Structure 1
Amino acid sequence: MRLNARGWARLVALAAALLVALLLHGTWRLFRLRSPWPRRFLGWVARIVGARVRVVGTPLRRDAVLLANHVTWIDILALAGASGAAFVAKAELRDAPLVGWLCTLNNTLFVRRGDRMGIDAQVAALRDQLAGPQPVAIFPEGTTGDGVTLGPFKAGLLAALAPPPPGVRVQPVRIDYGAATHDVAWVGAEDGARHAKRVLNRRGTFVATLHFLTPFVPEGDRKAIAAAARAQIEAAW
């Protein structure tokens, strides 16, 4: 698939937004200030690719784990822009050109899926991350879905919340693309580059609704925490 005129215009806008965000981020860091620009840049990217983010509820801004359903890479853009969250991502993403570096600017926690021997270290890293100034977002389905059905939750990393660090809460998040779900969902064997081009080429805008559901203090083991969050998301489906 090739980019059409609309896709190229959006790509140019993305490059311009990146340049502005990097200049501003560098200025903030020069004065040893905490930079808001990585998450603001992600919010800009969401808008450039056509998303009009609608927030329902109140996102927690720190001392929180956000557990959300996963439909597409646009989820990351919308969630970061709305909540300022850092993310848990697969380790392979760290080596992706440009994208991996941008992830580090937003304090992404990289984990190796299926690494049962390293799970204790990953849990410890997540607990350390929760002591920082950002909430941490996890997509517990472990992969993108079709946006119509909710997959099972993988609870491994939630061992970091059993028991939870002092003051930390869990906030379930339901992500909904409404009528555009079929257009933006990243499912099956579709190549990532092809999916990105398909979104960039898409005509018009679409609404991405983020339902920030009722936060709760995690209780019980990791599976109980995952089940409690999933029940809220399913009820809001």
Structure 2
Amino acid sequence: MSLFFRKARLLSHLLRGAWTVAMRFPRATPEKRHALNRAWSLRMLELCGLQLVVHNDAARLDAGALVVSNHISWIDIYVINAWRPTPFVSKAEVRSWPLIGWFAQNLDTVFIEREKRSEARRIMQELAERLQRGELMCVFPEGTTTDGLGLKPFHSNMFQAPVTACTPVQPICIMYEDAQGRQSLAPAYIDDLSLKDSLDAMLKSGPLTAHVYVGDALEPGDDRRKLAARAQEAVGVALETMRSQRGVQQPAPQPEQGARTPQLS
């Protein structure tokens, strides 16, 4: 199938998703919205050539938790929503992006203007209130994308919300594997890649598997820095566990990357 035709199918799927959010979401129950979002995201992965495999899903929390994940690509968002739809924290610029920003705004995204110091307190209060109401939220505490071979330090700011709300943190880890059993760098949205180049690389890379490892819940404690360190350790252990269990080989590390962050904490 040609690259042009695959992109045309993706565009059609995006437009179908926009119609669903505009026409069906307003009348749908939260459970129905959840099901529609998950089904749409699973199809999105399929059209991008990815299969989803979830590990340790018995540990999953379905209410009142801050989900934290490593961050590799814009496709991470759809991987997480295909596993279990969860609202995200996103930089404010995303709200103005064509179609993607509209999707984010209508899927309960919390937007943050990171250059404003006053934003930190507002966001922490909103997140804590949502967690206390039993909602889920997802953040990428690395604050940037990476090639997925390792982790960058987790910023502790967002961890204040579960500390304040006394709600757990659920660490998850994403890893992409190619058809030859190697950890794939194709989805990585890094360096000077445009969104188009990133999509082309993924579509040309052949079938991929998106692995999600669900870590055991972490009690918040009373120190956000210690909580961030514990979450980072849990995600790192999950990455090594998936590699070991599946015998996944690492590609050679790439030179130090820049970062591209469609949605981040």
Category of TM-score, reference length = shorter chain: 0.7 to 0.9
Compared with structure 1, are the counterparts of its residues 232 and 139 closer, same or farther at alpha carbon in structure 2 (3 Å cutoff)? same
CA shift, 1:196, in A, is 2.3
Compared with structure 1, are the counterparts of its residues 87 and 81 closer, same or farther at alpha carbon in structure 2 (3 Å cutoff)? same
Match of 1:113 in 2: 114
Match of 1:6 in 2: 2
* Structure 1: distance between partners of 2:162 and 2:44: 32
* Structure 1: distance between partners of 2:20 and 2:93: 28
Tell whether 2:165 aligns with 1:169: no
CA shift, 1:57, in A, is 1.4
Alignment of structure 1 residues 1-237 onto 2, 5 Å: 6-26=2-22, 28-29=24-25, 31-34=27-30, 35-36=33-34, 37-58=36-57, 59-131=60-132, 134-165=135-166, 168-178=167-177, 179-200=182-203, 202-237=204-239
Give TM-score scaled by structure 2 length: 0.79
CA shift, 1:20, in A, is 3.7
CA shift, 1:25, in A, is 4.1
Match of 2:218, as an amino acid?
F
Percent of aligned pairs with the same amino acid:
26
Match of 2:259 in 1: none
Residue ranges of structure 2 left out of the alignment (5+ in a row)? 240-265
Q: Which 10-residue stretch deviates more, 73-82 or 110-119? A: 110-119
Contact 2:175 2:183 in 1 (8 A): no
Give TM-score scaled by structure 1 length: 0.87
Contact 2:150 2:236 in 1 (8 A): no
RMSD (Å) for aligned C-alpha atoms: 2.1
1:103-136 CA-partner distances (Å, limit 9, x unpaired): 1122111112243232101111212333566521
* Structure 2: distance between partners of 1:30 and 1:216: 34
Q: 3-state DSSP class of the match of 2:206?
A: coil
Residue ranges of structure 1 left out of the alignment (5+ in a row)? none
* Structure 2: distance between partners of 1:153 and 1:183: 23
Q: Which 10-residue stretch deviates more, 98-107 or 114-123? A: 114-123
Compared with structure 1, are the counterparts of its residues 203 and 216 closer, same or farther at alpha carbon in structure 2 (3 Å cutoff)? closer
Match of 1:136, as an amino acid?
M
Match of 2:262 in 1: none
Contact 1:61 1:85 in 2 (8 A): no
Match of 1:188, as an amino acid?
D
